[in-house]
Structure 1
Amino acid sequence: MSQNHSKIHLVELEKLRPHEEADANYLKELTQQIASDKILKYAIVADQKTNVILDGEHRYNALKNLGCKRIPVIYVDYESPNIEVQTWRNGYNLTKHEVIEAALTGKRFPPKTSRHIIKNSDTPVHISSIEKKVDVPLEILKSDLKLVPLENVRTAMHTNLKDALQVYARFLKTENVDVPLILDKKTRVLLDGYEAFQALDLLSAEMVPAFQIDINKVEINATENLTKEAILKAGLKGEKLPPKSFTLLTEHLAINVPLKKLSKREKQSKKVLKVYNSSLELLHEGWPTPLVKLNSFSTSNRSVWAKLECYNPFSNSVKDRIAWYMIKEAIENGEFKHFLYEATSTNTGIALTSIANILGAKTRLYIPMSVQRASDIYLEILGADVVRLPVGLTVEAISQVDSEAKAQGAAHLNQFENDANLKAHLKHTAKEIDQQLASIGLKPTCIIGGLGTSGHMSAISLYFKAKYGDDVKIVGVQPAPNEVIPGIRRVETGMKWIHWTSFDQIVDVTQEEAIEAAIKIARKEGFLIGLSSGAVVNAFQKIAEEKGVYVLVFPDSGYKYAEQFEKPQRLSIEKHFQQKPPPSPTKTREG
């Protein structure tokens, strides 16, 4: 049976144990060759249990002579029957135990004593056959791995978010960072490890593990005509290059840094005195939003929790998160403009306009005719230019918004396609739910939320599926066919991020069911939720089991939806909420 030897570990030299002496002449020649190449071309092989070197001892000694601190290693299980030890010396028998003993005691064999054979795809070959070509610059191998503040790292190119999410999921699941960043030590421009950097940013790491080297002493693998000077300029000036424009390493080199070492300890106090220096701080410093138990749905075997996104300050909705992140990334990428155009059904428009006001910018918002008229009042108070369009869904307005924004020199942030939407929820919303439940000793069984752009529920799915696998069920909620529920829509209308992850179930809900559920929450729990939140409650009622820990994501409050609630038949729905009238007050004598 073949073994997987694909992972290359970057190991400190002092941890490794040679079992043979070096040939002085060959070592001198090899040391000179490696110094001339300025790279180490191949990894060595060592036993994963004892760190005894099985092949590549001269490379190990050459790097020691050159002042290196680490070496790329492929680990194998030396106890495996797929590996056997032979000898180059005639008439001499050698055992694995003797190899290990020689290394650990320091009583090493003469040069070229052992010869290790491995069955690779059931064919016996010399163990050097699994040594991968790595071409690692000596600059990296001579450097110390240090923790550097993430905010000090300067990026020179964009990253493909889907690629970064694979690294994000691995870090989250293993709670370990296995990819080092490579920085130019003078400018702190990132030379390698872009997916890892984005993953760590999404995981709210404050420090990153990095090697800092001199860019002028290494060869950069770059697209045609891209110079080192251009890379540094892109990192320092903020005009970022396209993804995969350059790289330094040809192979992934694994390190081992616990994820928890990269962040400060979470504040343990449940009560914090909330004082903010600006209204923007009120947003991102005000997270997490509350997680509250819904006692009317909970039993001794089942707890049901609501994530109340109405506690966000501007739109009183989950959309504050993505508005801030879209604007934040636009500023960082040099794409922020004085005029912002956006298609919205209300909440994103309120959030964008509020933040734009703080930053001295203006918004033009394109709203479907089907959206409640009260939205115009809220948005015009904030100073937005409101354009009503004869479309049924917000997403149908995207092409017109994009065209007009380009024609008039405005920025179209586009909540439906902008990856900042997903990032905001990966970095905060999903993590908040996990940490909030963990603080009371719980892990979710099922998380239920509505599908609009699909941003927050796709992020929640990515996070929890990466960390807990199928132990957590993810349920999306959409309007039933031919139904309209503000804030959510059907999957077939087109959603970007929902296809990047998996949902266990999609539940259809009618507007009538959503309104009934919202009224039930108001009369049982005391707070008024929006219709998309009501749809989430109804979906829970349809799929809930008797046991488990359920989280319902409530995107906003119900105060914007008076028009949907006001019809007489809505408020006359009493059949689900019949209660006996309260008893008359009992008169008592004083004194």
Structure 2
Amino acid sequence: MKKFNQNVIDVIGNTPIVRLNKVAANVESDIYVKLEYMNPGGSIKERIAKHIIEQAIERGDLKPGGTIVEGTSGNTGVGLAMYAAVHGYKCVFVLPDKQSIEKINNLRAFGAKVVVTPTNVEPDDPRSYYSVAKRIAETTPNSFYANQYYNLDNQEAHIRSTGPEIFDQTGGDFDVFMCGVGTGGTISGTGKYLKSVMPELKVVGVDIEGSILAPFWRTGEVVEAHGYVLEGIGEDIFPDNLDFSVIDDFVMIEDKESFVMTRRLLTEEGIYAGGSSGAAVVGAIRYAESLDTPKKILVILPDSGNRYTGKIYNDQWMRDGGYIDSPYNMTVGEMLHHTGKATKLIKLQDDKNIGHAIEIMKANDISQLPVFKGDSLVGYVSESKLATPLFEGTIDLNDNINLVMSNDYEVVSLKTPLQTIQNQLMLGKTIFVSDDDGNIVSIVTFTDIVGYIAGA
């Protein structure tokens, strides 16, 4: 055979660079992206996995038949698992529970053992994925802890691989290098190499709101981390692989704009990448908008979109998170206002008879009628619950309404998000709405929701 490789590890790297066209049409700078998801395992992390393991073998830290242990957001794990599959090692990976199910399933498909830990705990908490991975490595015989955050072979992999590859592909014909920042290996290693051959190059990191990295670079102060949904960017620790001296600037982004851009990359550019890629592109566009003169900007797109089919590429997940518009992304009060139903509630006192209730429903063209005792809601009657006993003759029009009244209902406020009650309504639950003073002011039915959506 004329051209082939010995195994899949040999084809890591040499990923293409393409120009963005539609999504970056409104900026004067040219934005180029390096498609790291075209590595055989779908991410840039295969570069560091290969180098970390090879260095561990060379130093004698990883012996034949040993177990590789790592705390990972999923991509490094796939790279390590791929190498382990080819060379006969076992793997144990620890992931925080915010990682996509696709990442977890990918690792298990390689035969790895996967431990899932809580996301919202402090880094030094014994339940954190950092702590659990370290503990597993310490208690597993013949194991090697890859430790991508503090093992400088991570950074070295990019000095030896990613940086030279980019320079060879571009001839140094660009002005700004950008990527998301997590462990710091990509930006520090690639940035160091590129600056050694391109002294005028600017290296710009992309960080997410809630991370402590960019705020520390700007102020020198350690802020309190808070939660975010994006995977692969941002940290609540300072990894040894992150060399702040390499970085010339930071751009901060948020979850929603990152996810929306990720989907645009697919629908407008044909680029099937993950959420951190969308984040990096948002950051690049924002940085380009801040420039006085157009520049050539090169951006790393770290991983594949096939890891996020249940999240970013799932319309329902995006709607539930408020990341894309939905008819349900409003309050109950706003929906009632739009449908013109935010009017005085028609109601019945509990001393009235069934015939009176039917007359009120007929006169007002309504199918449900709340029943009050004084100012307090005690139940409701509906056409559907009246029909059968009337036909069967088990009730009379002169009977008190309490004989057919139902108390199977819920009360929500005008400020309740509509999406929180949609399932109850679809199941036929009756929902009453109260104002800020606790007064019942309206009733919501599934018909109201359907009518609103149809007219939206």
TM-score range, shorter chain: 0.5 to 0.7
Root-mean-square deviation (CA), in Å?
A: 2.4
Mind listing any 5+ residue stretches in structure 1 that lack a counterpart? 1-272, 576-591
Specify the alignment match of 1:235 in structure 2.
none
Distance 2:154 2:121 in 1: 19
Cα drift, residue 478 of structure 1:
1.3
Does the 8 A contact of 1:339 with 1:364 survive in 2?
A: yes
Question: In structure 1, which of residues 336, 343, 351 is the aligned counterpart of residue 62 of structure 2?
Answer: 336
TM-score, with structure 1 as normaliser = 0.47
- Contact 1:366–1:387 under 8 Å retained in 2: yes
Amino acid at match of 2:8: S
2-structure distance, mates of 1:400, 1:327: 20
Instruction: Kindly report which structure 2 residues correspond to 1:272-421, keeping only aligned pairs within 5 A, or say none.
Output: 275-283=4-12, 287-296=13-22, 297=24, 302-314=29-41, 316-337=42-63, 338-392=66-120, 396-409=128-141, 410-421=143-154
Report the counterpart of residue 450 of structure 1 in structure 2: 180
In structure 2, what is the Cα distance between the partners aligned to 1:551 and 1:346? Answer: 25
| AA in 1 matched with 2:29 | R
Q: Give the one of 460, 465, 488 matched to 2:190.
A: 460
Offset from partner CA, 1:181-220 (integer Å, 9 cap, x none): xxxxxxxxxxxxxxxxxxxxxxxxxxxxxxxxxxxxxxxx
Matched residues in 1 for 2:28 and 2:278: separation?
A: 23
Alignment of 1:500-519 (within 5 A): 501-519=245-263
- TM-score with structure 2 setting the length: 0.60
- Could you list the structure 1 runs, at least 4 aligned residues long, displaced by more than 6 angstroms after superposition: none
Shift in Å at residue 393 of structure 1? 7.8
Q: What is the Cα deviation at residue 510 of structure 1? A: 1.0
Distance 1:535 1:394, change over 3 A: farther
Structure 1, residues 347-384: CA drift from partner, whole Å, max 9, x if none?
A: 11111111101111110111111112222221111101
Correspondence list, 1:51-130, <5 A: none
Q: Which residue in 2 is equivalent to 1:489? A: 234
- Residues 1:393 and 1:557: Cα distance change in structure 2 (over 3 Å): farther
Distance 1:406 1:573, change over 3 A: closer
For 1:562, the equivalent position in structure 2 comes to: 309
Residues in 2 aligned to 1:373 and 1:509: alpha-carbon distance in whole angstroms: 24
1:98 maps to none
Instruction: Classify the secondary structure of the residue corresponding to 2:305.
Output: coil
Q: Say if 1:416 and 1:453, in contact at 8 Å, map to a contact too.
A: yes
1:26-37 to 2 correspondences below 5 Å = none
1:204 corresponds in structure 2 to none
Structure 1 residue 397, shift from structure 2 partner? 2.1
Q: CA deviation digits over 1:402-431, x for unaligned, max 9?
A: 222122221111111111111110011011
* Separation in structure 2 between the aligned mates of residue 277 and residue 468 of structure 1, nearest angstrom: 34
Count of matched residue positions in the alignment of Structure 1 and Structure 2: 294
Which of 514, 519, 532 is 2:276 aligned to?
532
- How much has 1:299 moved relative to structure 2? 8.5
User: What is the SS of the residue equivalent to 1:422?
Assistant: helix
CA contact (8 A) 1:344 1:394 kept: no
CA drift of 1:304 comes to 1.6
Instruction: Write the letter of the residue equivalent to 1:399.
Output: S
1: CA distance between counterparts of 2:90 and 2:231? Answer: 25
Distance 1:514 1:486 in 2: 11
TM-superposed CA distance for 1:574, in Å, is 8.2
Say if 2:310 and 2:317, in contact at 8 Å, map to a contact too.
no
Distance 2:157 2:25 in 1: 30
Conserved? CA contact 1:368–1:388, under 8 Å: yes
User: Are 1:521 and 2:265 an aligned pair?
Assistant: yes
Amino acid aligned to 1:406: E
131, 139, 158: which is aligned to 1:425?
158
The CA distance in 1 between the partners of 2:247 and 2:27, in whole Å, is 28
The correspondence for 1:477, drawn from 197, 201, 206, is 206
Matched position secondary structure for 2:246? coil
8 Å contact 1:369–1:392 — kept in the other structure?
A: no
Q: CA deviation at 1:513?
A: 0.8
Instruction: Point out where structure 2 has 5 or more consecutive residues left out of the alignment.
Output: 211-226, 327-456
Alpha-carbon distance in structure 2 between the residues aligned to 1:377 and 1:306: 28
**Paired residue type of 2:301:** F
What does 1:108-257 align with in structure 2 at a 5 Å threshold?
A: none
Going from structure 1 to structure 2, the CA distance change for 1:574 and 1:293 (only over 3 Å counts) comes to farther
Q: CA deviation at 1:558?
A: 1.1
The 2-side partners of 1:539 and 1:519 are apart by 15
Give distance in 1, aligned partners of 2:254 and 2:310.
17
CA distance in 1, matches of 2:251, 2:191: 16
Ranked by relative contact order (alpha carbons within 8 Å, sequence separation 6 or more), the top structure is 2
The Cα offsets for residues 443-490 of structure 1, whole Å up to 9 and x where unpaired, read as 221111001111011112212333333x22111111112323101114
